[in-house]
Amino acid sequence: MTSRPELHRGSKVAGILAVGLFGFLAAVFLTAGFGPPQGFPEGSITRSIGYAMFNLPGGDVDSEGFLVAFVLIAVVLDAALDGAVMLAKREDGEDY
């Protein structure tokens, strides 16, 4: 049987630090200067993203490759799916 969640009433230092961090980040974001907006050069942005994702030459816009990030995300999503399947199995061996 599960119990209801209870509010942890610990030290107020963590709350004060969180509010201070929020104030600091708000000040940084509100006072940050951004340069003038710049557009993309002529060409297909979508095709360039596809080429950059798989480290292929041929995109209209120069960019860095993202093959390692793509593979890492695929592995993490596969592990999450395997974990979900494992948790969905019943103890007697039957699936839901």
pLDDT digits (tens, 9 = 90+) for 8-49: 777 889 889 999 999 999 999 999 988 888 877 787 888 888
State pTM to two decimals: 0.41
Look up residue 83 and give its two tokens: 């974990």
Domain boundaries, the chain: 13-88
Closest alpha carbon to 66 in 79, 76, 51: 51
Q: What is the pLDDT of residues 46-91, one digit of tens each?
A: 888 888 887 788 877 777 778 888 889 999 999 999 999 988 877 7
- Is the Cβ–Cβ distance between 51 and 64 less than 8 Å? no
